[in-house]
Structure 1
Amino acid sequence: MTEVRAGMLLVATPALLDPNFADTVVLLLDVDDQGALGVVLNRPSGVPVAEVLDDGWGDLVAEPEVFFQGGPVSVQGALAVATLRADDDVPVGFRPVEGRLGLVDLDTPLELLEGSLDGLRIFAGYAGWGAEQLDAEIDEGSWYVVPGEAADVFRLDAGELWRDVLRRQPGELAWHSTRPVDPELN
């Protein structure tokens, strides 16, 4: 089994029928003995960031400039995921997750972030698992665990992310990218 750690992706398998996670790709942001936390990357909400957050956050986020539905937990709150332009330019309010990918504190004044970020996306809510809960879901076949790429977070069209992530995997896992939505119709 692939190591479950921050920066990895969880790709929903056909066995995962929970409507909160069917056909999703989840970026893991924090994994420890207490559980795991991540955000769904492929569910744009249609709500512009500029309509909810003031002070120019809407100008800083990657296109589409909308909130993404990060998951079913704490949907009234938001998490900001960003990529640094350079490894040696870590602004105040940035917490590394993996490499240049990290979380940005939304209380940080924008002038402290200007010029330091290569991409930013804001997620309403998050996905969370208690201790050993995620391992159990992986063992039952609900998730594929695969390496993530920073570009996965900031795609303009997130609709094909599920297939594209699977397509780039080695071996038989890539075959799953071509499965029909309803195998009965195949």
Structure 2
Amino acid sequence: MKKVKLQKGKLLVAEPAILNDSSFNRAIILLAEHTKSNTVGFILNKPLEYTVNDLVPDVRCNFNVYEGGPVEQDNLYFVHKIPELLEDSLEVANGIFWGGNFKQLKNLLNEGLLEESDIRFFLGYTGWSEGQLENEIKENSWFVSENDFENVFTLEEENLWKNKLLQKGGNYKLWANAPEDFNLN
């Protein structure tokens, strides 16, 4: 399998070696930004028990919120596919955009003009400083994958990690079916 270049729009997949890290165990992260000095991403497969309305009471919206990562967990972030409706959106890749005008977003949500398949919300984000992520990849904490999901906003998160390992093949197939908690085995 060819090596995938580290860049925004790609996915970071947690290696089985970091199963003991509660923040990143079985995580799949969408990279929203990757520059020489830093990298930002959002965990796609860790839903929380919150809706947008739970966190922002003046927004009438019951869309799920996901754990974006351990950084700034008191802030709400979002990726979407509606840049024509949200000024200041930043393109990540392939029709995926990050952020934008929150006042416009609140109005769209309160008017019921968005579907959950248009947007995904995250509490916090994942972040790395210069060289940190590259070192973690060398230490086998992550592998980089193409974002071959048809729509990151409608993913069934339950088997995402397992399916990415099966897709990678080789020894990863063995890890794909390992129990989430080895202590229960």
Q: Give me the TM-score of the superposition, normalised by structure 1.
A: 0.80
The CA distance in 1 between the partners of 2:163 and 2:55, in whole Å, is: 31
- After superposition, the Cα gap between the structure-2 partners of 1:47 and 1:162, relative to the gap in structure 1 and judged at 3 Å, is same
Q: Does 1:133 align with 2:132?
A: yes
Residue 78 of structure 2 corresponds to which residue in structure 1? 80
1:62 matched residue in structure 2: none
Counterpart amino acid of residue 50 in structure 2: V
8 Å Cα contact 1:7-1:27 kept in structure 2: yes
Question: What is the CA distance between 1:2 and its match in structure 2?
Answer: 2.0
Residue 4 of structure 1 is matched in structure 2 by 6
Q: Distance in 1 between matches of 2:44 and 2:131?
A: 23
Is the counterpart of residue 165 in structure 1 residue 164 in structure 2? yes
* Residue matched to 1:119: 118
Is the 1:91–1:116 Cα contact (8 Å) retained in structure 2? no
Percent identity, please.
25
Give the alignment of 1:58-73 within 5 angstroms: 58=61, 65-73=63-71
Residue number in structure 2 paired with 1:100: 95
Query: Residue 154 of structure 2 aligns with which residue?
Result: 154
Q: Distance in 2 between matches of 1:74 and 1:105?
A: 18
Q: CA RMSD in A?
A: 2.9
More strand by share: 1
Q: Which residue of 2 aligns with 1:53?
A: 56
Task: Name the CA shift for 1:48/1:183 in 2 (closer, same or farther; >3 Å).
Answer: closer
Alignment deviations for residues 33-91 of structure 1 (CA, whole Å, 9 cap, x no partner): 112110111111111111222454626xxxxx22111110000011111124xx9x464
Residue identity matched to 1:30 = E
Give me the whole-angstrom Cα distance separating, in 2, the residues matched to 1:20 and 1:73: 11
Contact kept in structure 1, 2:78 and 2:98, CA below 8 Å: yes
Of the structure 1 ranges 138-147 and 158-167, higher mean CA displacement relative to structure 2 is found in 158-167
- Greater CA drift, 108-117 or 22-31: 108-117
- Whether contact under 8 Å (2:16, 2:175) holds in the other structure is no
| Cα distance in 1 between the residues matched to 2:101 and 2:57 | 11
SS of the aligned residue for 1:108 comes to helix
Count of residues in Structure 1 that have an aligned counterpart in Structure 2: 175
Match of residue 36 from structure 1:
39
The residue type equivalent to 2:151 in the other structure is A
TM-score (norm 2): 0.80
Summarize deviations over 1:93-115 as a string: whole Å, max 9, x none: 32211021011225231357857
